[in-house]
Each structure stands twice: as structure tokens, then as C-alpha cells.
Amino acid sequence: MAVISLHKIAPFEQLLSRCQQADFIEEAARKNGYGREDLPELSRIAGEVVRESGRKGSFTSKLLQEEAEGKRPVTVSVLTLGEGVDRLQDRYRERENMTAAYMAEVISNEILMKSYEAYDRMLAETTDYRVKEFHFPGSEEAYPLSDIGKILDMLGAPVQCLKSFCMVPRKSVVFYAELTREKGNACRSVCQTCEKRSCPYRREENRKGEQLSLIHI
């Protein structure tokens, strides 16, 4: 199974490029309680996170279930921003610059949240499918946490799963995607099937599946 650099997949490359733009930085600031005076430092750190992600960040995916009568196709994927982002945060912590370390956390989490939309765009640009639903190990009975290690081994991803089910590099995600050919039934964001209504990253959608404004709690 090929492990592909994020910079070699157009939607992910576009996402990393957008991370250094004003609208991305301002959105991350709003969701995490930062003021306008924090934007220059957030922007600087976003540049560092993007640089490190470009070096070691990668994506790999596999069709797990073929389309059949009564069954939708399902893919399983692993995305990581790479060990460089971990080292970046660790350097800030060693210097006791916890503000910068947390800003790197904020930017990294924002990239990972938007990576699901990037994956859906990748499907739309290269196949006839869109994502119907995202599923995550540990979030549903059908997808236990113990799946993480099996998926990493199956895909040969450059990510380790610890006994605690934490992953290394830390900024890594594993997900299943149930696919559909029906554009009207496509899932526009990972939030659509999530029950965590108070999450600061949550996006609401209208009945047509279009994203509305962020919900702030």
C-alpha cells in the first residue's frame, strides 16, 4: 500500500497552503479564544507546522469493502502530519514556551479537522464517489479501538499505536469512510455524524448538506 506525501495530493496540498492564509488563522483564533493581537504569532507557528507537515506528513488509504447489492463501499485511511510536528511542540515545551506549544496544537488540530473535507474533495475529483459517513475506531461498537493497530499494520502507515491506543506521531488520524454515488446524500463534514454537540470545532449543516457557521459554546 503506497504511503503518499501530503504535498503530492492536490486537496491536501491546497489545505496546507491555505493554513498560512488570513482566513484560516482568524478562524482558528476565533474557535480557540485568541484575539487579534495573537494573529501574528499564530501565523508564524502555522508556517512552522506546515513546513514540518510537508516534510513527513503522509496519507494512505485502501478500499476495504467493494460496492455490492445493499452494501456501500468502505475505505479505511491513515493521515499523519508526521513526527516533525511532535518535535516542534517538544522544542517549545523544553524552552518552557507553553503558549507556542499550544498554538502548534491548535493549528495541527485545525489541519486534521479540515483533512476530512480534503479527503472528500479528493474522492470527488478522482472518482464517482463522495463520503456518506465517517467512522472512527472507538466511536462506535462496530469500530473498536483495537482496530487502530490492525489498520496501521494493514496499510503500512508510518504511525505506531501504543498500548494506550495513542498514536505516534501524535498528530495522526485513522478513519473509515462509507461512500455513496448520490451527491445529495454526501456528508459535508466529519461533524455530521458526531454526537458531541458542545465541541468547539463543530460545524452545523442545513438540510442540503451545506456548511453553516461554526457553533460556539
Q: Do the beta carbons of residue 15 and residue 114 sit within 8 Å? A: yes
Q: Nearest CA to 30 among 201, 178, 203? A: 201
Tens digit of pLDDT for each residue in 43-69? 999 999 999 999 999 999 999 999 988
Residue boundaries of the structural domains of the chain: 4-193
Residues in the chain: 217
**Structure confidence at residue 217 (pLDDT):** 22
Class of domain 4-193: alpha beta
Q: Which long-range contacts (CB under 8 A, 24 or more apart) does 208-213 make?
A: 208/184, 209/184
What counts of helices (H) and strands (E) characterise the chain? 6, 9
Alpha-carbon separation of residue 7 from 12, 21, 49, 217 (angstroms): 7, 17, 14, 34
Question: What's the pTM?
Answer: 0.86
Tens digit of pLDDT for each residue in 128-175? 999 999 999 999 999 999 999 999 999 999 999 999 999 999 999 999
